[in-house]
């Protein structure tokens, strides 16, 4: 089977990128913060069970939360220190979750030493087939790895071999389509070694014979870097057009392979498993070095931040600490988003902790965040034209607004990927994606 498909998908939009704010900023190691607050649930699935009590000393990498089921991932201390009294925080998705605070102690690793410990040294591309599939999956599970592209689904669940739906292709997603964000971009430039090792290991676990790294054509340096790095391996680098929401699993599979994931289906229904480039690097570290996921790369950007940067940050550090390290908010700052402007969620509390799925923090100015006056739908159909999964957003959104959940389901609300294309293009300023998010949150509550 070839690696090329249609090379694009139906619908989508082309919003202004604004990646130049941080694209050339090399990843910096954030100085050890005075405190981190580790959420006991950072993914889709069951919450963790705390393994520590107040005043318990912990070392970086020590497990402090045990996975609550198969679709769950343990959490680990991201700094050396002492545990405090368990508390509760609200994540950007409005979910209230328990957190374990850790006050920093004398840190054994920081700066270049921390960088070397996480990403330094050689990353092999040969003889990785010596690692048994089950051993790879167990190492990933023990390391608490979840998808770093935003969905945060436990990675070991994706890679377990499925006898009824075998996988033939591993797709490594380097399509960082969300405007402003550049964390994946910088990883592909600076860290090709662990990404490639992790991709080979993930393919070995899933029994995928074909490996593709998909990158958008607005990242020429990353493309050249990875093409050089994959020489001598079976990995192919496929360049896709810059087209939002390229990077969504279904869109990237369609563009790279020409396969269509059915409505309500999963990538494994068409023989594919998709992982993010940051996830691949974490897999390499877990399997080859036995290290858990304690840090991730986060972009802090936007015209509302004094000095946009890409930071290697410990899980659990507050958004406030990251923003202050980047020079703080500008006078024009008006809205802080977890993620980018298309799919990100506005937050009102900068004490919010970074989780394994936090790819970026975007701060918009009052001019950028200005909300258009909402008018009546003029039935122009532009939201239908841009919806990449073929929905009729206005009908679903109106069903959600009037709490007609049965009608929303009949219009396939669950198939919405919340990319925001419909709200972006709507000339009447109707918050279509926000209404659909509200509906997706409300329907499960009605079932209880």
| pLDDT 10s digits, 216-266 | 999 999 999 999 999 999 999 999 999 999 999 999 999 999 999 988 889
The tokens of 92 are what? 């950007």
CA dihedral 259, 261, 267, 272 (to 10 degrees): -10
> Quick one: pLDDT at residue 117?
96
Mean per-residue pLDDT of the chain: 93
End-to-end CA distance of the chain: 45
Report in angstroms the alpha-carbon separations of 19 from 14, 16, 160, 188, 345. 13, 9, 35, 15, 19
> Quick one: pLDDT at residue 441?
84
pLDDT tens digit string along 196-211? 999 999 999 999 999 9
pLDDT at 92 over 50: yes
Q: Which of 360, 361, 275, 353 is nearest to 314 (CA)?
A: 353
Q: Which of 175, 177, 245, 261 is nearest to 387 (CA)?
A: 245
pLDDT at 170 over 50: yes
Q: Give the sheet arrangement for strand 75-76, strand by strand.
A: 49-50, 63-66, 75-76
- Strand-pair partners of 292: none
pLDDT tens digit string along 18-77? 999 999 999 999 999 999 999 999 887 889 999 999 999 999 999 999 998 889 999 999
Please, which residues have CB within 8 angstroms of residue 381's CB and are 6 or more apart in sequence? none
> Quick one: pLDDT at residue 193?
97
Length of the chain as a residue count: 448
Q: What long-range pairs does 264-269 form, CB within 8 A, spacing at least 24?
A: 264/412, 264/414, 264/415, 267/171, 268/162, 268/165, 268/167, 269/165
Please, which residues have CB within 8 angstroms of residue 177's CB and are 6 or more apart in sequence? 216, 242, 243, 244, 245, 246, 247, 248
Residue entry with tokens 């020489």: 231
pLDDT tens digit string along 375-417? 999 999 999 999 999 999 999 999 999 999 999 999 999 999 9
Q: For 427-431, what is the mean pLDDT?
A: 95
Q: How confident is residue 1, by pLDDT bands cut at 50, 70 and 90?
A: very low
> Quick one: pLDDT at residue 443?
74
Share of the chain above pLDDT 70, in %: 98
Q: Which of 170, 176, 272 is nearest to 217 (CA)?
A: 176
> Quick one: pLDDT at residue 4?
45
Q: How many alpha carbons fall within 13 Å on the CB side of residue 203?
A: 24
Q: Give the sheet arrangement for strand 309-314, strand by strand.
A: 28-29, 309-314, 295-301, 360-365, 333-338, 345-347
Q: For 177-203, what is the mean pLDDT?
A: 97
pLDDT tens digit string along 320-342? 999 999 999 999 999 999 999 99
Q: For 169-181, what is the mean pLDDT?
A: 96
Taking the C-alpha atoms of residue 93 and residue 111, their distance in angstroms, rounded to an integer, is 31
Q: How confident is residue 280, by pLDDT bands cut at 50, 70 and 90?
A: very high
């Amino acid at each position: 089977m070839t690696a090329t498909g249609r090379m694009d998908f139906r619908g989508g939009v082309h919003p202004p990128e604004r990646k130049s704010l941080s694209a050339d900023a090399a990843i910096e190691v954030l100085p050890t913060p005075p405190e981190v607050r580790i959420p006991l649930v950072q993914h889709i699935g069951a919450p963790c069970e705390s393994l520590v009590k107040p005043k318990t000393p912990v070392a970086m990498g020590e497990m402090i939360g045990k996975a609550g089921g198969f679709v769950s991932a343990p959490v680990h201390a991201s700094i050396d220190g002492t545990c405090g009294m368990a508390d509760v925080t609200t994540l950007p998705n409005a979910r209230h979750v328990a957190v374990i605070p850790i006050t920093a102690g004398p840190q054994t690793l920081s700066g270049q030493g921390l960088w070397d410990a996480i990403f330094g040294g050689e990353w092999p591309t040969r003889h990785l087939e010596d690692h048994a599939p089950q051993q790879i999956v167990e190492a990933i599970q023990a390391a608490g790895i979840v998808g770093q592209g935003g969905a945060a689904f436990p990675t070991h669940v994706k890679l377990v071999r499925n006898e009824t739906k075998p996988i033939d292709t591993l797709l490594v997603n380097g399509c960082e389509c969300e405007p402003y964000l550049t964390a994946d971009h910088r990883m592909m430039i600076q860290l090709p070694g662990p990404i490639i090792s992790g991709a080979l290991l993930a393919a070995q676990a899933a029994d995928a014979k074909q490996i593709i790294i998909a990158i958008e054509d607005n990242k020429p340096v990353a493309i050249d870097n990875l093409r050089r790095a994959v020489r001598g391996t079976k990995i192919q680098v496929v360049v896709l057009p810059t087209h939002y929401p390229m990077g969504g699993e279904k869109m990237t599979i369609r563009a790279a392979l020409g396969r269509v994931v059915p409505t309500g289906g999963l990538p494994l229904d068409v023989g594919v498993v998709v992982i993010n480039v940051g996830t691949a690097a974490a897999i390499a570290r877990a399997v080859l070095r036995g290290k858990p996921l304690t840090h991730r790369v986060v972009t802090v950007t936007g015209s509302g931040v004094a000095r946009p940067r890409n930071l290697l940050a410990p899980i659990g550090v507050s958004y406030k600490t990251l923003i202050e390290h980047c020079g703080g908010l500008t006078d024009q700052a008006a809205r802080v988003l977890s993620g980018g402007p298309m799919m990100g969620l506005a937050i009102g509390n900068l004490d919010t902790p970074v989780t394994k799925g936090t790819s970026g923090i975007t701060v918009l100015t009052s001019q950028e965040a200005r909300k258009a006056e909402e008018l009546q739908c003029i039935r122009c159909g532009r939201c239908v034209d841009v919806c990449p999964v073929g929905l009729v957003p206005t009908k679903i959104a109106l069903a959600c607004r009037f709490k007609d959940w049965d009608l929303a389901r009949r219009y396939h609300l669950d198939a919405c990927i919340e990319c925001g294309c419909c709200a972006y293009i709507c000339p009447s300023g109707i918050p279509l994606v926000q209404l659909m998010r509200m509906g997706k949150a409300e329907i499960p509550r009605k079932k209880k």
